[in-house]
Amino acid sequence: MIATMTTPSTNGLTLADWTQTMQRSVLRQMIAVVSQPGILSFAGGLPAPELFPAEAIAQATAHVLATDPLALQYRPPHPPLKWHIVQLMARRGVDCTEDQIFITTGAQQALDVLARLLLNPGGQVMLEETVYSGIQQVVAPFRPDILTVPTDLDEGIDVDAVEEWLAWGARPAFLYTIPESHNPLGVSISPERRQRLVELARYYHLPIIEDDAYGFLCYEGEAERPMRAYDDQWVFYVGSFSKIIAPAMRLGWMVVPENLIPRLTVVKEAIDLESSALVQRIVTAFLDAGHLPGHLETLRGAYRDRRDRMLRALYRYLPADTAHWSHPCGGMFIWVELPHGVDTAELLQTAVECEKVAFIPGHAFGVRNGHTLDDHSHAGEGASHCLRLNFSNCPADAIEEGIGRLAKVINQSFHQLDGGTTYGRLSSH
Ligand SMILES: Cc1ncc(COP(=O)(O)O)c(C=O)c1O
């Protein structure tokens, strides 16, 4: 019921070759299925709707429409918004200028534009084995050779593996990574690894796409500085207002070397001409009015509480010697690793049907058709024993109940795996 994907007939129409291997986002499909009424869902990757700053956005919108008659016109990127982004970047410890800011229609478009700029058809890209699915969709039309590297739940991307690939002779068009509160893994890259990645980027002339979608959602003081703070030539920073104001703004940005802006502009024009002039002005008015710092505090407080409740419930209901999970310092996700042999896609089916609780199975984030360092063969779906839990978009007081229900199904699977001899915790819930 949950993971089926049908390819609609094209009625004899010949489509571009790459679409033969095109996959609808498994994630989006699953989220639609498991978000039915009555299901307690940890599946989506969405911000909490009750925390959207709707009133402040309404005021900003009214102000813009009343004062700027050209807000509804085609317009070039809005300089005051770039000014605000430079201030935001300073808060992340990044020193940049307005000339280095490129406005995009969400972070997703930034990834698309950068891939179009850097990647040749059939070229190489380097991705983590478990990765944000949006980057796979972006590179798919190029039918690239995907070189994969592992990630550990303590320090993030395996930099030794990156180095090994490069020393072996790989020359990817770029390495894509998420420095802070990884989606889906919930891990942040340690400062040492960030430093080493930047050194490798410089030495091997490897562009790094640094997707910092969660960099402003840190629940333990301020997040580490992104790699762009260490290097302004090889690190292409991607930011987004989706998680800190609202996804429907569809507004993001990049920080890139200034000389790339004219080329990026041409690439973006082919996609959507420009990002909404109206939205750029609304976000600018929101920022001008000084709403962001207070709003960020509200978000951080609420999400910190939800994260803590979820971690406490995991410790309470799952055997920590058998299941392992990440301890995100920010963002929206916790990644849970179960013993090999547990199939979380099957588990989801049971969880939804029997316990009315949902998550995303790990295989949804596994790189498809990638090469691993070991044997340079296909990486496959190595995360099928893992699952992603979202803690931002569920009521705080439902988290413990939901994890309890999920643990019931998980512990049952351990029981089956083990021939019914150990893990008797099931009966305790
Ligand atoms: C890591 C990551 N990058 C990019 C995006 C897309 O963000 P946007 O809404 O700004 O396009 C998401 C959305 O969930 C994400 O998790």
Residues 303/305/308/312 CA torsion (nearest 10 deg):
-130
**Cα(423) to centroid(ligand 1), Å:** 38
In this prediction the pTM is 0.93
Given ligand 1 and candidates 25, 85, 108, which is best to mutate, with the most ligand atoms within 8 Å of its CB?
108
Mutate to test the pocket of ligand 1, among 27, 243, 392 (most ligand atoms within 8 A of CB): 243
Give the distance (Å) from ligand 1 centre to CA of residue 10.
Answer: 30
Tens of pLDDT, residue by residue over 320-334, are 889 999 999 999 999
How buried is residue 265: exposed, middle or buried, by Cβ count under 10 Å (0-12/13-18/19+)? middle
| pLDDT tens digits along 166-183 | 999 999 999 999 999 999
Distance CA 214, CA 181 (A): 6
Q: Does any ligand 1 atom lie closer than 6 A to the CB of residue 108? A: yes
CB of 178 closer than 6 angstroms to any ligand 1 atom: yes
**Ligand 1, closest atom to CA 132?**
1
- For residue 105, give the ligand 1 atom closest to its CA: 11
Is residue 369 over pLDDT 90?
A: no
- Strands (E) across 118-183 are located at 124-128, 145-149, 151-152, 156-157, 175-177
Decide whether any atom of ligand 1 lies within 6 Å of the 347 Cβ: no
pLDDT tens for residues 8-20? 667 788 888 888 7
Residue from 200, 131, 130 nearest 159 by CA: 200
For residue 424, pLDDT beyond 50: no
Cβ(106) – ligand 1 distance below 6 Å: yes
Smallest CA separation from ligand 1 atom 2, residue: 213
Tell whether ligand 1 has an atom less than 6 A from the beta carbon of residue 104: no
Alpha carbon of 196 to ligand 1 centroid (Å): 25
Question: Is the confidence at residue 5, as pLDDT, over 70?
Answer: no
Q: Looking at residue 423, what is its pLDDT? A: 38
Q: How far is the CA of 110 from the centre of ligand 1 (A)?
A: 10
- Determine the pLDDT at residue 119: 98
Of 45-59, 60-74, 269-283, 371-385, the poorest mean pLDDT is in: 371-385
Ligand 1 geometric centre to CA of 48 (Å): 15
User: What was the pLDDT predicted at 27?
Assistant: 66
Query: Which phi and psi (to 5°) does residue 27 adopt?
Result: -60, -50
CA distance 374 to 372: 6
Output the pLDDT for position 14.
Answer: 85
SS3 category, 11? coil
Mean pLDDT computed over every residue of the chain? 91
Contact yes or no for 390/42 (Cβ under 8 A): yes
CA distances 186 to 73, 192, 405, Å, are 40, 18, 22
Orientation angle between helical segments 277-288 and 54-67, nearest 10 degrees: 110
Q: Is the alpha carbon torsion for 358, 339, 157, 325 positive or negative?
A: positive
The answer to whether the CB of 215 is under 6 A from ligand 1 is no
Tell me the sheet residues that pair with 210. 177, 237
Atom of ligand 1 nearest to the CA of 241: 10
- With a cut of 50, say whether residue 7 has pLDDT above it: yes
Q: 168 with 202: CB under 8 angstroms? A: no
Q: Which atom of ligand 1 is nearest to the CA of 111?
A: 4
DSSP β-ladder status, 101-104 and 370-371: unpaired
Q: Residue 379's Cα: distance from chain center in Å?
A: 20
Band the pLDDT of 418: cuts 50, 70, 90.
low
Q: Which of 240, 249, 271 to mutate to test the pocket of ligand 1 (most atoms within 8 A of CB)?
A: 240
- pLDDT value at residue 425: 36
Q: Which residues pair with 335 in a beta bridge?
A: 388
- β partners of residue 146: 125, 370
Taking the CA atoms of residue 180, residue 186, residue 191 and residue 193 in that order, the dihedral angle to the nearest 10 degrees is -110
112 lines ligand 1 (CB under 6 A): no
Contact by Cβ (8 Å): 367, 379: yes
